[in-house]
Amino acid sequence: MLAGMDTLPSRTLADPHAVTTLEQLAALYDPPRELVLKKVTDRLHAPTLGFIAASPFCLLATSGSKGVHCTPRGDAPGFVTALDDHTLALPDRRGNNRLDGARYFIENPQVALLIVVPCAGEALRVNGTARITADPALRDRFIAQGKAPATVVIVAVHEVYMQCAKSIMRSRLWDGRARPAGLPSMGELLAAHTGGGVEPVSYDAVAPARLVETMY
């Protein structure tokens, strides 16, 4: 037994500050800005495709009978590929063959992707449903180092929206590294996602100061 373990209470005391209702939760936070509610879209616009093409890394979240899994997926930039403006595909490269996420695609197709570009503060969130295919022609599109993936994950896109840069700024993850040239700006992405509801130049001009002011 670890030192001190014998002095711990036999059961965890109830948390008197636990938040257990939606009303309690809402009372603890300011209401979201109008833009935050409007920036969700259901399609992959040109700036979004540019962001995805620059990404070598994403996180893929799945859920099923044994709980929730979140797995890293990485490859050369553009490995997450748009088949059309409502569909993404990514290769299921060689891993540990536990097939945790793959089993869940069959049990419960709902998935979430967090797509990241090195040195970019914002990230792209995609929610949708996934299926697995062993289509030879599609597998051949993802050949790397002479090897095709065993399968390809197809994601039907239901929601797309940009996550602001605050978390990455707070973590200082990319400090000292320059943003990739040509990567669509947050203003450009929001303009596409809101159907022109954001003027990109104006948004990008004031965004850095606003992020700092609302960091904590």
Q: What is the pLDDT of residue 13?
A: 65
* Average pLDDT for 205-216: 86
- Ramachandran angles phi, psi of 90, nearest 5°: -145, 140
Alpha helices in the chain (DSSP H): 22-27, 34-38, 46-53, 100-107, 136-140, 166-171, 186-193, 200-213
Measured N-to-C along each axis, helices 46-53 and 186-193 cross at an angle, to the nearest 10 degrees, of 130
Alpha helices in 33-185 (DSSP H): 34-38, 46-53, 100-107, 136-140, 166-171
Token pair, residue 111, equals 């998935």
pLDDT at 5 over 70: no
Domain ranges of the chain: 34-213
The identity of residue 42, as a single letter, is D
- Ramachandran angles phi, psi of 11, nearest 5°: -145, 155
pLDDT at 100 over 60: yes
Confidence of residue 102 (pLDDT cuts 50, 70, 90): confident
Q: What is the pLDDT of residue 139?
A: 97
DSSP secondary structure letter of residue 70: E
CA distance 89 to 130: 9
Confidence of residue 212 (pLDDT cuts 50, 70, 90): confident
The pTM score is: 0.84
pLDDT at 215 over 50: yes
pLDDT at 2 over 50: no
Instruction: Give bridge partners of residue 69 from the DSSP assignment.
Output: 62
- 21-76: pLDDT as tens digits: 999 999 999 998 888 888 899 999 999 999 999 999 999 999 999 899 999 999 99
Confidence of residue 8 (pLDDT cuts 50, 70, 90): very low
Contacts of 199 (CB under 8 A, 6+ apart): 187, 191
Among 2.30.110.10, 3.40.50.300, 3.90.220.20, 3.40.50.2000, what is the CATH number of 34-213?
2.30.110.10
- 68-96: pLDDT as tens digits: 999 999 999 999 999 999 999 999 998 88
Q: What is the pLDDT of residue 10?
A: 43
User: By mean pLDDT, which of 107-111, 116-120, 175-179 is the weakest?
Assistant: 175-179
Q: What is the pLDDT of residue 115?
A: 98
CA distance 121 to 179: 8
